[in-house]
Chains A and B, each alone.
Chain A
Amino acid sequence: MPVLIAHTISEATEILAENPDATILNGGTDLMVEVNFNHRHPSSVLLLRNVPQLREWSIDSSQQTITIGAGVPYAAMETGAIAAAVPALAQAARTVGSPQIRAAGTMGGNLGTCSPAGDTLPVLSALEATIHLSSQDGERIVPFGEFMVGPKKNSRLQHEIITAVTLPITGRRQGYSKVGVRNAMVISVASACFAVVDDTPRLAMGSVGPTILRAVKAEKFLTEATTNLNIISDEIAREFGQIASTEARPIDDHRSTAQYRAHAIKVLASRLAVRGTAS
């Protein structure tokens, strides 16, 4: 199996144009598992680890945004400047796997796989991040909501590479929580990201539907029920969680039950709504 090694983004898009069947390899923490399990048999692999640009991140202070390369490993998001700019992303990154997985795994790979249980995805949804895609045809910027289109399905075209993600730096409350049946290294049974963006509340839910779901009714309720998003009563928080859980579309599987997942969303949403407030 040929391994094609790119050193720049343009080299990578060129290789991909010439080898439309090539499978992109980033940290390999999803792909290599699938190969080992014989679920995927790539005919060739495009290696992105030697593209320094993909491992960079930058802050645009005029726009108040941060752009994180698709090859930045989770370990780099857990602390430091990225964590300060997007605390919910740092929390999501910390919940991914084990130290070994966080040293190798990337947001590009999380987006490439696009599992409803992917831990960074609710953060990208709540913060309405944009995904940068590059190809020989140029660059395309797609809002997250249009990027993830189904379980393990995204709108990336075969000849495109995910290069980066841009997120707003809100300076307001945000947080991520994930429920699993073990205290670390576990696939989420239900997860949620709450963030205040442009003075409106946002709630995105993971593992409770075919894609990451936005709890639009709950968001609307909270907007109307409060005047100051830093002062939320327990009662309102409970109601917020209650509404959010009705917007979840969970299923029963071997990891949990639909009933528990909906319940967990209710609890997570109401806790996140008040997390970090004075109350």
Chain B
Amino acid sequence: MSSVKTKRDVLGTSSLRPDGGAKVKGDFAFTSDLHAENMLWGATLRSPHPHARIISIDTTAAWKIAGVECVVTADDVPGQLTYGLISSDQPVFAKDVVRYMGEPIAAVAADHPETCRRALAAITVVYEVLPVLFDPELAIGDDFEPIHPEGNLIRQQRIVHGDTSVVGDVIVEGHYVIGMQDQAFLGTESALALPDADGQGVEVFVATQWLHEDQKQMAACLNLPTERVRLVLGGVGGAFGAREDISLQVHTALLALRTSRPVKMQYGREESFFGHVHRHPATVWMRHHATNEGKIVKIEARFVFDGGAYASTSAAVLINGVTHTQGPYKCPVAVVDGYAVRTNNPPCGAMRGFGVVQACFAHEGQMDKLAAAVGTDPVSIRLMNAMETGDLLITGQPVESVAPVARLIRETNEIPLPPDLAMDANELELPGGSGITAERKHIKRGIGWGVSIKNIMYSEGFDDYSTARCTLSDGKVVLKFATSEVGQGFVTLAPQIARSVLGVTDAVCDTIDTQIGSAGSTSASRQTWMSGGAVDGACRLVRERLFEVVGAQHNIEPIRFAIEDDEIVDTAGTFRMSVIEASQGITISETFEHHHRPTEELDENGQGNCHVAFAFVAHRAVVDVDPELGLVKVVQIATAQDVGQVLNPLSVLGQIEGGIAQGLGLAVMEEIIVQEGRVRNPSFTDYLLPTALDAPVVVARMIEEYEQQAPLGAKGVGEPPCISVTPAIVAAIRDAIGKDIDRCPVRPQDICL
């Protein structure tokens, strides 16, 4: 028996990503790197108009080009003509009408991307341009002809809670505007489809967030049995919500089935901007009523989310928005009206924060207004109203999760402020950066706060379970699941769980595909909880079986066994045996499905226990502003995040730093500019993402209060970092310049003109 224990990457350690080295060295195969023998390339023809009737489509000339193997349009879709996550309202190819700029009309397969390009150019589409519905307010009433058979209103939800006749001593009000953010993942949409030899099925390697949902929608459109559409996760270069919806999946598979050859599709950056949904631009009105001291007594609000041309997840985004109106604060009374509408703008759907980002930008603006109105400071007003476990939400749902809101605020407040900007600060440290636009004397510093609550897992009665299988053999564990690894680190965490539960060292993940039950989506900060719970459950079942085997061999009651480090020990005796030895020559395999507790739908007054659990975070931003030029440099973000239990500190920190960068982008630069339905900046030249010079120093504290509901005590940590950092930065800008700003991203002209 070994006496020196090797360090094992169990839960709680900063185990490194199994694919980290390959990614750093450029060896990792992203989906776009895949290649198959005899492969064709696919490409998509898209509408140049935001709204037009299709009079005719002529593909004859495209078919005649040498090297073109196939051209498909709506007429070639063998199954259901539409798809969608919640409502199946989006055509695989537009047939009679196009409803947004960039909507797919046809696809081609050819021997080379350049041949594809020429084939697309050879397709003649005659359009009759229609009036464009670009103002979401016009979509609410009957003022504009329905642009879709399902109407212009995607969903409306009211929340009425408590004695609404209450009036506060102090009332503050604000109108807030949130711009359209893009997920801007670095690996653009890509898929490789391989047709089965009999032509009755297809295997598709794809970068996605939810293999089984894609499979279901694809099978319906392709008119194939689900099991004949086999999906394998290709290497994913980021997701952030943009891979929840179908993009090129059906097109690629259809072309492969039609040509009986492998087909690969891959969007370029510009096409990617048209190929996936974005964060909903929104307008939010809020009116807070409070006592003279500043305690909230009522909130009134109105939300309008612009869903763009198709429903995607707009209905769920809306519910997230309205149910998070109060933020992480106590609120006894509320009247909220929310609308998710259809327009001829780009379709919007899931993005990190999912509706809560918009609500948070508004409620945090309100908290600062309230603090000013009652003559207190941003920290005191938030502490005074901080939510606690057991409080009722405005939906009537009790908060059963750990809710350390006051502690998060206090701990964030304890983080030292950065030093003052030195009189001889390097020009690169000043707002304006390498443009050398300012000197030290032009700069003003501001501090701002943002605190948020975010639901985790899916809501409104949806059972988003996850499945995993654990196989132990000869001291080695293989884990099988369909959990999309999009960069969040489940492939790091799953083996950590197995090592902790089973005492093994050697634990690896099998191919991620549809050859096992669904894992649900890698979204809603849910995979550590859901798939973590599934892996944990499967490993525990295997452990039980192993104890039975060893118990039978050594005549010990299995119940007496426990895993201690890498050994099975008899807790009531002296027997010890290494797991490696105990599992020699045997194979134990168990599958487990983890379900979270059920949730309910909301009633017409928005009442109901619709969410599973909540996570909280506080952010304090320090920014330097050049008030005259309107330029900003975010200096430091201090944050304390409610994480439940830290399972991998490095992974958590990665989520915190990345989320903050993304929230910073929404605060000061990231916006898809849409004018009358047309996207004006579909490139990384003009859609600006933060660079290293824009990224602030992040000082993070992970607040560990074990979450009893969670299988591993851990809350999801993916979304919270990006939610309240945006209002914190905008508040810091307001603080620096002493001027009200009600929109994000904040543009230079919003500051100085």
If A254-B673, A267-B628 touch, whether A182 touches B690 (CB-CB below 8 Å) is yes
Question: Could you tell me which residues of chain A, from 56 to 94, have a CB within 8 Å of some CB in chain B?
Answer: 91, 94
| Cβ–Cβ < 8 Å partners of B434 in chain A | 94-95, 183-184
Task: Give A240-279 as 1s and 0s: 1 = Cβ < 8 Å from B's Cβ atoms.
Answer: 0000000000000111110110011001100100010000
With the chains together, A260 CA to B694 CA distance in Å?
21
With the chains together, A63 CA to B414 CA distance in Å?
62
Is there an interface contact between A177 and B749, defined as CB atoms closer than 8 Å? Answer: no
Is there an interface contact between A95 and B435, defined as CB atoms closer than 8 Å? Answer: yes
Nearest chain A residue, comparing its CB with the CB of B690: A182
If A94-B434, A254-B681 touch, whether A183 touches B693 (CB-CB below 8 Å) is yes
Is there an interface contact between B753 and A260, defined as CB atoms closer than 8 Å? Answer: yes
With the chains together, A38 CA to B685 CA distance in Å?
16
| Cβ–Cβ < 8 Å partners of A191 in chain B | 435
- Smallest CB–CB gap between B26 and chain A, Å? 15
| Cβ–Cβ < 8 Å partners of B442 in chain A | 271
With the chains together, A188 CA to B681 CA distance in Å?
15
With the chains together, A48 CA to B436 CA distance in Å?
32
A95, A185, A188 interface centre (most CB from chain B within 10 Å):
A185
Nearest chain B residue, comparing its CB with the CB of A177: B437
Is there an interface contact between B688 and A186, defined as CB atoms closer than 8 Å? Answer: yes
Q: Contact residue range for chain A?
A: 35 or more
Is there an interface contact between A183 and B749, defined as CB atoms closer than 8 Å? Answer: no
A175 interface contact, C-beta 8 A: yes
A176 interface contact, C-beta 8 A: yes
| Cβ–Cβ < 8 Å partners of B629 in chain A | 179, 264, 267-268
With the chains together, A186 CA to B690 CA distance in Å?
10
Nearest chain B residue, comparing its CB with the CB of A188: B435
Question: Could you tell me which residues of chain A, from 187 to 209, have a CB within 8 Å of some CB in chain B?
Answer: 187-189, 191
| Cβ–Cβ < 8 Å partners of B691 in chain A | 98, 182-185
Is there an interface contact between B433 and A260, defined as CB atoms closer than 8 Å? Answer: no
- Smallest CB–CB gap between B688 and chain A, Å? 5
- Smallest CB–CB gap between A19 and chain B, Å? 23
- Smallest CB–CB gap between B272 and chain A, Å? 13
User: Which DSSP category, helix, strand, loop or mixed, fits chain B's interface?
Assistant: loop
- Smallest CB–CB gap between B517 and chain A, Å? 42
B646 interface contact, C-beta 8 A: no
If A37-B270, A254-B673 touch, whether A179 touches B439 (CB-CB below 8 Å) is no
Nearest chain B residue, comparing its CB with the CB of A259: B753
With the chains together, A267 CA to B626 CA distance in Å?
11
B432 interface contact, C-beta 8 A: yes
Question: Could you tell me which residues of chain B, from 672 to 689, have a CB within 8 Å of some CB in chain A?
Answer: 673, 675, 680-681, 685-686, 688
B22 interface contact, C-beta 8 A: no
Nearest chain A residue, comparing its CB with the CB of B626: A267
| Cβ–Cβ < 8 Å partners of B734 in chain A | none
| Cβ–Cβ < 8 Å partners of B421 in chain A | none
B431 interface contact, C-beta 8 A: yes
Nearest chain A residue, comparing its CB with the CB of B634: A183
- Smallest CB–CB gap between A165 and chain B, Å? 21
| Cβ–Cβ < 8 Å partners of B680 in chain A | 253-254
A214 interface contact, C-beta 8 A: no
Of the A-B pairs whose beta carbons lie under 8 Å apart in the complex, a sample of 16, sorted by A's number, is A175-B436, A176-B436, A177-B432, A177-B435, A181-B748, A182-B669, A182-B693, A182-B694, A183-B694, A184-B692, A253-B680, A256-B747, A260-B749, A263-B752, A271-B439, A271-B442
Which 7 interchain pairs have the tightest Cβ spacing? A183-B433, A254-B680, A178-B435, A260-B749, A184-B693, A183-B693, A254-B673
Instruction: Name A's B-contacting residues (CB within 8 A).
Output: 37-38, 91, 94-95, 98, 175-189, 191, 253-257, 259-260, 263-264, 267-268, 271, 275
Instruction: Name B's A-contacting residues (CB within 8 A).
Output: 117, 270, 428, 431-439, 442, 628-631, 633, 668-669, 673, 675, 680-681, 685-686, 688, 690-694, 747-749, 752-753
